[in-house]
Structure 1
Amino acid sequence: MSVSQITPTLFLSGADAALNQALVNRKGITLIINVTLSHSCPIYPGVECVRVPVSDLPHARLGDHFDRVAARIHGNRCGGTLVHCAVGLSRSPALVMAYLMKHKGRTLRQAHGQVQESRPAIRLNAGFWEQLLDYERRLYGKNTVKVAAPLEPIMPAKRPVGALRYGCERVGRAPIKYYSEW
């Protein structure tokens, strides 16, 4: 269970850390952003959980949530925020990078560097990179990152329902709701 501290009040992890109440309390986390399809939000006193149900596939529209998630992180003035996906390598780092660009004035290059310094194993899928590049262009009118090779086509994957991604999420299964969801 690895929690990476990105700023004094912003943390990034996989789902396992969010399920550890002692860790959540120790870090002073009062807001959890859950970016998974199948992991439920934990219910802890004094901790709000917001669910952003997006799959980790290149065609998934994570960028539709950049502004709302960034605003929610920025608006959490009463404690720390934990952003997590299944394993903390693609969806949650992308949302954290969008927040850093929107509210901390970072370029995409700087945001990626800051997140990667705290969590070296991050590996965003090609679709999320495209969406972050578009977001940076909207925010700053230019891109600071160049794509070295063409990104894979952003097409819906042909995967049977129940196929596993990272060995833990079932695509196509409806989650149980105990939380707020966008």
Structure 2
Amino acid sequence: MEVQSIIIDDIQKLRENTVQNIFSESEDAEIRSSESSELILGQTTPLGNISELTESLILTSASNVNPQTLDSFNISCIISCAPELPESPLHDEVIYHKIEVIDSGCSRILQYFDPAADLIHQVSSLGGKTLVYCVAGVSRSASICLAYLMKYQKLSLLEAYNYVKLRRPRIKPNCGFFKQLIEYEKQLFGCNTVEMVFNEFVQMEIPDVYQCDYKVPASYVKKRCKNGRY
């Protein structure tokens, strides 16, 4: 029984990683197609794709973490959510906080929500600005920002997601992270505004806010019907 359970867990992890690759490929395509023309509400600058979520919180990708960005936005704290990248402090006076989590549906990020949100709030209360980043500014760093907006801006997960999505359309926390964001919302407010639902096309649970991005194509439905599955 234990061996069977392990096999089932391994299959589930493989499925989640495979689906996450589909998500990642679509995100990469979105990033490439929009890199030169995307307008970010809140801030569009020649410095690149830098998204100002609040007066004290900025979300971006690793490629934009440089002295020019730090100076232009008066950054006083940096939260790195990409442990696979080398550490490269840019200013001695800037606070550096590293979150050791890889971008996988199996990774546990929930434990980092409170410490990161508390740090962002503390920096903000002192008049400073925090820059949060991961490799692409899509999954890990976006999850941290959503957690902060829930805890200190009192937004529901759905409100926080829609808010950040408007300012950075490419965000897409992986499904494992979204499950933990749902759990965190429950801890904070006692209820949930986003739920995991089974998606027929990818054959696994995804956040309901992703449903419109992964609808079952008509050709897929016809093929399933032809094969006698419906």
1:51 corresponds to which residue? 98
**2:68 aligned with 1:22:** yes
2:79 corresponds to which residue? 33
Report the Cα distance in structure 2 between the residues aligned to 1:52 and 1:118, rounded to whole angstroms. Answer: 23
Q: Please, which of 127, 151, 157 is the counterpart of residue 205 of structure 2?
A: 151
- Larger proportion of helix: 2
What root-mean-square deviation, in Å, do the aligned CA atoms of Structure 1 and Structure 2 show? 1.3
1:131-175 residue CA offsets vs partner (Å, 9 max, x unmatched): 0000001111110113332427xxxxxxxxxxxxxxxxxxxxxxx
Q: TM-score, normalised by structure 2?
A: 0.63
Runs of 4 or more, structure 1, over 6 Å off, are none
1:89 corresponds to which residue? 138
Q: Which protein, 1 or 2, shows the higher relative CO under an 8 Å CA cutoff with sep ≥ 6? A: 1
Query: Number of residues paired by the alignment?
Result: 151
Q: Which amino acid letter does the alignment assign opposite residue 152 of structure 2? A: H
Give the 3-state SS of the residue equivalent to 2:130 in structure 1.
strand
* Larger Rg computed on CA atoms: 2
Once the two structures are TM-superposed, the CA of residue 3 in structure 1 deviates from its matched residue by 0.9
Q: Which amino acid letter does the alignment assign opposite residue 69 of structure 2? A: L
Report the Cα distance in structure 1 between the residues aligned to 2:103 and 2:90, rounded to whole angstroms. Answer: 24
**2:188 aligned with 1:134:** no
Give the 3-state SS of the residue equivalent to 2:52 in structure 1.
strand
Q: TM-score, normalised by structure 1?
A: 0.79
**8 A Cα contact 2:179 2:196, kept in partner:** no
Give the 3-state SS of the residue equivalent to 2:197 in structure 1.
coil
Report the Cα distance in structure 2 between the residues aligned to 1:151 and 1:89, rounded to whole angstroms. Answer: 19
Where do residues 1-20 of structure 1 align in structure 2 (5 Å cutoff)? Answer: 1-18=48-65, 20=66
Where do residues 154-173 of structure 1 align in structure 2 (5 Å cutoff)? Answer: none
Q: Which amino acid letter does the alignment assign opposite residue 60 of structure 2? A: S
1:67 corresponds to which residue? 114
Report the Cα distance in structure 1 between the residues aligned to 2:53 and 2:205, rounded to whole angstroms. Answer: 27
**8 A Cα contact 1:100 1:111, kept in partner:** yes
Kindly, what percent of the aligned residue pairs are identical? 34
